[in-house]
A and B are shown apart, each in its own frame.
Chain A
Amino acid sequence: MEVQLENLTKYFGKVLAVDNLNLEIKDGEFVALLGPSGCGKTTTLLMVAGIYKPTKGYVKFNGQAVNHLLPKDRDIGMVFQSYALYPHMTVYENLTFPLKLKKVPAEEMRRKAQRIADMLGIGELMDRKPGQLSGGQQQRVALGRALIKEPKLLLFDEPLSNLDARLRLAMRGEIKRLQMSLGITSIYVTHDQVEAMTMADRIAVLNKGQLQAYAPPEELYDRPRTLFVAGFIGNPPMNLFEMELYQEDDHYKLRHPDLSLAIPDSRKPRRQPSGRRVIVGLRPEDISIGPEGEIESEIYMVEPLGRDDIITCKIGEIKVQTVVDSRLGYRIGDKVRISFNMEKVQLYDPQTELSLLWA
């Protein structure tokens, strides 16, 4: 099923939760709504589900506005962060609840429940109550309940947030594989960028109710169009610092009391910034430490991660983070030379917070 959100707006009293959102989701696509808490992603999902009514704008399924449809008539399945399994029902009753409401014959109900349970590996838990299940098992039952009525659209509201790290990793792969094999259009709300990056075909980044970007994961990472996306996607985050942009002999250059840089032609700004100052962005992996580096700096902080260390270097007032092999054994206070891979530089206008490189 195709989903279109047109000028979707939601106010809670005077508080604007979702601001004129436009989004198109193709049939069978897996789209993640990504953003910090309070960005309006869950509100958007609940409007798609029909639990919240939009203040303005439309939710369209296959081109048909469904604003007036009740959730039960929308042919959707939903998985909640809390799982929301009915505590007074057994696993079997939970799984078959949507079918029972549809008055599906008992025999068919049993067959479908068995198939779903086998698919999710919860077949032997049918007689248990949710309280007797582990978090991962509850998650599977919740997934099964969403899938059993063969919905045209699957909605996920941070389904993995309550699981421990290892289980989350496993379920991430499982949900993705399941979605691909069933081909059900899916909207997945998360604040975890790794989840969004690894699972989604396209990611819609939201901030303060507004759509910041809507693109496939690689594009979002390589060509962030807004400062928010640049800073939000990536871990450790992109280094962002202010410099002055100027032109010399047809070349663009950047200067700062502590640092001067040259911008290669491949990264020539396509737009002029509103002032002379710009925000320069460089990902940690595009900064390297080594004797051939042309910039002198001092190590300010070392955060060991095991395989790698996150190293914060100080160049005068500017601090940048990079990731290096922990076996190199850098220490706080070491004087090192670093170099920037300027072929990967990002430039942003501090006023509009828009990229100067990507339209």
Chain B
Amino acid sequence: MATEAAIYKAVPRPSLWERIRTSSAPWVFMAPATVMIFLFFFLPVVLTIYISMTNMSVATFGKVVFIGLQNYIRMLKSRWTVKILTNTGFYVLTTLSCFNVGLALILSLLTTHINERVGTLFRTLWLLPRITPSVIYALLWIWVTADAPYGIVNQFLSPFGIEPRNWMNAQPWLVVIMANGFVGASFGMIIFTSAIKSIPEDYIRAAMVDGASTLQRIRYVILPMIRWPILFVLTYQTLSLLTSFEYILLLTDGGPGFYRTEVWALHAYHRALSNYFGNVQFGYGAALAAVLVVIGIIASILYLRVFRFNELVAEPKIEAL
């Protein structure tokens, strides 16, 4: 009864407490996520930037000194910077276009145009590498490309007259990009498949009656209708490829030779965490990582602007019937 009376009174004019409660509700609900974002996303960036302006390393742990932009200046002066930046660009663009978007599109189109069960089975199988621990997956690639005369690739290709070779050394980029791409393609494959399946059947039927062949249907109807999912995968995968390095680390560790397949994220890792003992340069590594953050933010803003992401979030682009 007491609460009923309270509600009754609150109707003409809410009490101060009521007003605080209603206006604070959104903040209370947002709080857990806000705290998480602050602790695990925002704070690390601030810390990284702070560390990048110090000389922190194993050798200097006792006396960390603020050195301003010296780490960045050192980066600019390094003769490897351009090489590694080029490597990163090549790695991201090639993997993205050939596999994470290209192959993903081909896979999702193929598996939605064949028998449904076979398609689902195929997609499930393609997900296996993603749910396999990275180390095991990398190990499989190492065995597949094992030194001549061993290795499945060599066994497979020798009947065709291709001389056995150490593929990991001969074509390091090919191996790195394929290993990443096969896993990366599964993300786009799933997004594209669900997008293709959500296209109302009538559009496809209409296109068939209008005279479109399978390829024309894909070009004129399906692809335009899944434009937004494609842009989403493109954006998301650019960012995740920029920061990914674990397969490269496990497969070539940036080699063979000097920095042949070293990408920016791996370089930061090498500098900060995997140098020889006594020369683990936290400060310099943090500076490298900070640059990556900046590149990521710029890329995000560009994508947001160019592809008008707000519209993508605002309303579904596949129109309901």
The chain A residues found within 8 Å of chain B, CB to CB, are: 46, 49-51, 70-72, 76-78, 80-82, 84, 86-88, 97-98, 101-102, 131, 145-146, 149, 155
Contact = CB atoms under 8 A, between A and B. Distances in A.
Contacts, number: 64
Contact of A46 (B200, B205, B221): B205
Nearest to B227: A88
Contact of B209 (A71, A87, A88): A71
Interface in B201-236: 202-203, 205-213, 216, 220-221, 224-225, 227
Given A72-B213, A97-B220, A101-B216, A84 B208 contact: no
A51 B210 contact: no
Given A87-B319, A101-B212, A102-B211, A80 B206 contact: yes
Contacts of A80: 202, 205-206
B188 to A, nearest CB: 20
B30 interface: no
A77 to B, nearest CB: 7
Contacts of A72: 208-213
Interface of B: 200, 202-203, 205-213, 216, 220-221, 224-225, 227, 319, 321
Nearest to B317: A87
A134 to B, nearest CB: 15
A49 B211 contact: no
Given A72-B213, A82-B200, A101-B211, A51 B224 contact: no
B202 A82 contact: yes
B212 A82 contact: no
Given A80-B202, A131-B319, A101 B210 contact: yes
B205 A84 contact: yes
Contacts of B211: 71-72, 98, 101-102, 149
Contacts of B213: 72
Given A82-B202, A101-B216, 13 more contacts: A51-B205, A51-B208, A51-B209, A78-B209, A80-B202, A84-B202, A86-B203, A86-B207, A86-B221, A88-B227, A101-B212, A145-B210, A146-B209
A78 B225 contact: no
B208 A70 contact: yes
A88 B210 contact: no
Nearest to B214: A70
Nearest to A102: B211
A77 B209 contact: yes
B256 to A, nearest CB: 47
A73 to B, nearest CB: 8
A84 B203 contact: yes
A71 B221 contact: no
Given A82-B321, A101-B216, A145-B210, A88 B205 contact: no
B210 A97 contact: yes
Given A51-B205, A82-B200, A88 B224 contact: yes
Nearest to A52: B205
B74 to A, nearest CB: 50
B209 A49 contact: yes
Contacts of A51: 205, 208-209
Contacts of A84: 200, 202-203, 205-206
27 contacts: A46-B205, A49-B205, A49-B208, A51-B205, A51-B208, A70-B208, A71-B211, A72-B212, A76-B209, A78-B209, A84-B202, A84-B205, A84-B206, A86-B203, A86-B207, A86-B220, A86-B221, A86-B224, A87-B319, A88-B224, A88-B227, A97-B210, A101-B211, A101-B216, A131-B319, A146-B209, A155-B209
